[in-house]
Amino acid sequence: MQKKRARPLPSLSVRIDLDAKGRIGPGKIQLLENIHACGSISAAGRAMDMSYKRAWDLVDEINRICRHAAVERQTGGKNGGGAILTPFGVSLVARYRKIERAAANAVRKDLVALRTDIGHPKKS
């Protein structure tokens, strides 16, 4: 007898509007995490199928809206430098992920109910 596989819960996505023009969401946080892991803005952008210019524009936007640098460019070296997260950048990622976990935990029962209410997807 085959066990019924539990369907995954609908996911919750958190976007924090800091003001009318500045927001931090999952894409920017993922970019910061990729910069931290890759040590490079271009490699982080490539990991997300994003151009270097787009990645740099997002980093610039993060630094501007937060009024603190989240990413610091490194120059020189045999590979031409790279980028690292500043202590503020590390803190920003950690705080965002903490908010995201708290929000998901707060609505877990509602997500379970939503999954139940929606039922199984219709077959084409």
Q: Which residues contact 7 (CB under 8 A, 6 or more apart)?
A: 115
Q: How far apart are the first and last CA of the chain?
A: 27
Would you say 25 and 15 are in contact if contact means Cβ atoms under 8 Å apart? Answer: yes
Dist CA 37 CA 23 (whole Å): 23
| pLDDT tens sequence across 77-104 | 666 679 999 999 999 999 999 999 999 9
Higher pLDDT, 22 or 75: 22
pLDDT above 90 for 75:
no
Q: What burial class does residue 32 get, using C-beta atoms within 10 Å of its C-beta: 0-12 exposed, 13-18 middle, 19+ buried?
A: buried
> What's the whole-model pTM score?
0.83
| pLDDT tens sequence across 8-58 | 778 889 999 988 889 999 999 999 999 999 999 999 999 999 999 999 999
* Closest by CA position to 89, among listed 19, 41, 21: 41
